[in-house]
Structure 1
Amino acid sequence: MPSTTGDHRTPEGPPTACDPLAGIEAVSQALLAMSRHLEVREVLRRITASARDLLDAEYAALGVPDDHGGFAQFVVDGVTDEQWRAIGPLPRQHGVLAELLHETGPTRLVDVRKAPAFEGWPTAHPEMDAFLGMPVLDTDAAEDEPRVMGVIFLANKRGGGLFTDHDEELLRILAAHAALALSNARLYERSRELTLAGERARIAHDLHDAVSQKLFSLRLTANAAAKLVDRDPARARVELAEVSRLAAEAADELRAVVVELRPAALEEDGLSATLASQVQVLDRAHTADLAFAADGVRALPPAQEAALLRVAQEALHNALRHSGARRVTVTLTGTPARGAVLRVRDDGRGFDPDSVRRAGRHLGLASMRDRAAAVGGTLTLESAPGKGTLVEMEVPGA
């Protein structure tokens, strides 16, 4: 349903006499609101709310089509949760919605109910008349024609009236930037999925190397104790004590893995609180004493907070699994440039970093350096045999 929809389209009329800069500040605010988020669902919500506010509409929606005649996601603004539940399932791709999903230009109507393709609404659906639809186009797609990533729908100007040429142009600008925001969010989520897959692989490797080997030793020791019970009870007691020790170590390893599998509550609690919680849990799960302190830390960009958390987890993993440390301290300190410095220090046996690197045992150091570099930070490591280890990561902040 292109812009040239017969009698139902808003007359173009003469160019608006408003200030040429009118709406630029509003568009800027809308774009900033979209760019602050990385999760796809939140980006869609911000696009929808921004479009509604920008054009002073009563209702707004953004639909992302799936490959089965429906919508993979459909976000609304201006409709209450109660109304949305009463409306029912997500709409299918039919009627006006279907036509819009096959257009690469805007659709502006005096009354959407009079459009040839209009097929009615569910009973609880609010009444709508003046209508403006704008596709969100992926202009970088490999196809010859731009691909429709979704469509922004607006209905009912507040206070009555129709959507204007100026409204259409503002929404076109917003939709172009919405395409970039949505593409970036999808790339971020894909990257996060790959990171999670890598984390699962690492944890599986840890389970095999640590827990599986301890359970194997536990089984052999228990078998030996069973054979010694009758002929050498004293030796059997020694073996059973070893069984108890191995079982306790295996339990510690499993607890540590469970902690790493728990999702970090960064968004809800912030980096300091999340780190404090994880250190507290690990302190209960291990014989080593763990402590955490934070000072002067401001809110950081989400990617930096996530990287700091993962590096802290990796450093704690090394300290608790490999160093034999009796004490591990984690500190998070703010910097004058609004950044932060993370330090994880242990009093374990330490190691020669060059020897470890030559032997091909990286202890996750390459992964930690990659995480730091990916968010513009730096990572340094200090260690020597018998001197413990210090892992330090600094990020620049916003």
Structure 2
Amino acid sequence: MKKRFSSIRYSYIVSHLNGLFLTFVTILAILLSIFVLISPKWLTANSIFLFIGLYIVIAFFVSIYVGFRSSGDLKQKMDYLSVLITQYANGNYQSRIYIDEGDELNRIGRELNELGEKLQNQVKSLQRLADENAELAKSAHKSAVIEERQRIARDLHDAVSQQLFALAMMSEAAIRQVENKPALAKEQMIEVASAANQAQTEMRALLLHLRPVHLSGNPLPIGIKKLVEELQQKSQIRFQVSIEDTLKLPAVTEEHVFRIIQESLSNILRHAYATEVKIEANKKGEELFLHIADNGKGFDLLQDQEKKTSYGLKTMKERSEELGGTFTIRSNVDEGTYIDIRIPC
């Protein structure tokens, strides 16, 4: 009931009744003033109250009728505008409204039509952008897959395939020397075993690259420990891992740090010939400190810039810099390799 009395029609009727009341007071004041001051014979108290009574009755019904009729068109226009706004709120931006009169409501209707057209164009633009992003994502994924395949194929050709070819040649040579020169055949078989072990190490490093980059929902400490446990079962390297179980970093930072450690372990397996590896990760203040060390054969940083080892190091440096961190490496021949990374959190 309260909502009904607050409608446009009720407001119009009330405004007409207010006009009636003001007119009634004005006419009554004028007639009473004339009656008191001039006192004409035709103007009596009974005639005044009769006229006022008839005026109130007639004007009351006229006010209600005129208020109801005059508010009808306005209510209809407002209903059209309300329906149009509801359509826009529901995402139907193709709806339009047309009002012929040149009043303020017509102007509002035109502006709403223009708004609907703009919203419709924005939706089309967003859809086109989403399609373009999807195509770009597909293209980027395909390019990444092709690049990774080419890199793995290159690594297989440069390392494993050549080692397997050498194994085949040395095995054939040892077979020919078994009867005539058994000592030489034994030496060749020892070389075959060493080459086979190296090829196996190369394959483990390549398989390590093929592991998922993400942590599969695990925190960084658990992901690193699982990675190390898996490598301990497949290699003779002794690992020392020191990482806080409560270490918590943003998801993007965790993924990059995990990938850096994964890349460093792959380099150690393939090139370092290390027996001990140390991994430390701890947070001090607003920075993460990551230390990776091995007791392998090391290398000369100045002379090895263009060798295969520099590719993995370059990748780790780029990932560190993407997080706003610093990458430092120290290494000498027969003295191992030490990597220190600082990343702001």
User: What count of residue pairs does the alignment treat as equivalent?
Assistant: 245
Asked if 1:251 corresponds to 2:200, the answer is: yes
1:147 aligns with 2:116: no
Asked if structure 2 preserves the Cα contact closer than 8 Å seen for 1:308 and 1:393, the reply is no
CA–CA separation in structure 2 for the residues paired with 1:342 and 1:369:
13
How many Å apart are 1:315 and its aligned residue? 1.6
Shift of residue 269 of structure 1? 1.0
Aligned partner of 1:10 in structure 2 is 83
Higher strand share: 1
Out of 347, 359, 376, the residue aligned to residue 295 of structure 2 is 347
> Unpaired segments of 5 or more residues in structure 1?
1-5, 14-105, 116-132, 140-144, 151-178
Change (3 A) 1:292 1:387: same
Q: Secondary structure at the match of 1:149?
A: helix
The structure-2 alpha-carbon separation of the partners of 1:297 and 1:210, relative to structure 1 and needing over 3 Å to count, comes to: farther
Letter of the 1:235 counterpart = L
1:37-62 CA distance string (max 9 Å, x none)? xxxxxxxxxxxxxxxxxxxxxxxxxx
Q: Which has the larger radius of gyration?
A: 2
- Residue 200 of structure 1 deviates from its aligned partner by 4.1
Q: How does 1:250-329 map to 2 (within 5 A)?
A: 250-295=199-244, 298-329=247-278
Selected match of 2:334 from 371, 386, 394:
386
Over 3 Å counting, the alpha-carbon distance change for 1:240 and 1:319 in structure 2 is same
State the SS of the aligned residue for 1:348.
coil
CA contact (8 A) 2:220 2:247 kept: no
- Helix, strand or coil for the counterpart of 1:284? helix
CA distance, structure 2, for counterparts of residue 396 and residue 183 of structure 1? 34
- Whether contact under 8 Å (1:297, 1:332) holds in the other structure is no
TM-score (norm 2): 0.59
- CA separation in 1, counterparts of 2:246 and 2:158? 36
Change (3 A) 1:292 1:359: closer
Letter in 2 for 1:383: S
In the alignment, the residues of structure 2 paired with residue 254 and residue 361 of structure 1 have an alpha-carbon distance, to the nearest angstrom, of 16
Higher relative contact order (CA 8 A, sep 6+): 1
Task: Kindly indicate whether the alpha-carbon contact (under 8 Å) linking 2:201 and 2:269 is maintained by their aligned counterparts in 1.
Answer: no
2:176 paired with 1:227: yes
The whole-number CA distance in structure 2 between the counterparts of 1:269 and 1:390 is 27
Matched with 2:58 is none
Amino acid at match of 2:196: A
Match of residue 312 from structure 2:
364
Contact 1:297–1:333 at 8 Å: present in 2 too? no
C-alpha contact 1:136 1:148 (8 A) present in aligned 2: no
Deviation at residue 342 of structure 1 after TM alignment? 1.8
1:384 CA drift (Å): 1.9
Preserved CA contact (<8 Å) 1:292 1:331: yes
Stretches of structure 2 lacking an aligned partner (at least 5 in a row): 1-78, 96-115
* Structure 1 residues 268 and 136: alpha-carbon distance in aligned structure 2, compared to 1, 3 A threshold: farther
Whole-Å separation in 2 of the counterparts to 1:343 and 1:386 = 19
Whether the aligned pair in 2 keeps the contact of 1:350 and 1:387 (CA below 8 Å) is yes
Q: Distance in 2 between matches of 1:220 and 1:211?
A: 14
User: Contact 1:282–1:290 (CA<8 Å) still a contact in 2?
Assistant: no
The structural deviation recorded for 1:201 is 3.8
User: Which amino acid counterpart does residue 204 of structure 1 have in structure 2?
Assistant: A
1:86-128 deviation per Cα after TM superposition (whole angstroms, max 9, x unaligned): xxxxxxxxxxxxxxxxxxxx74569x9xx9xxxxxxxxxxxxx
SS at the partner of 2:191? helix
* CA distance 1:215–1:282, change in 2 (3 Å): same
Distance in structure 2 (CA, Å) of the matches to 1:334 and 1:229: 60
> Aligned partner of 2:331: which letter?
S
Aligned counterparts of 1:324 and 1:349: Cα–Cα separation in 2: 6
Indicate conservation of the 8 Å contact 1:10/1:109, yes or no. no
Partners of 1:302 and 1:183 in 2: how far apart?
Answer: 27
The residue type paired with residue 276 of structure 2 is R
Identical-pair percentage: 29
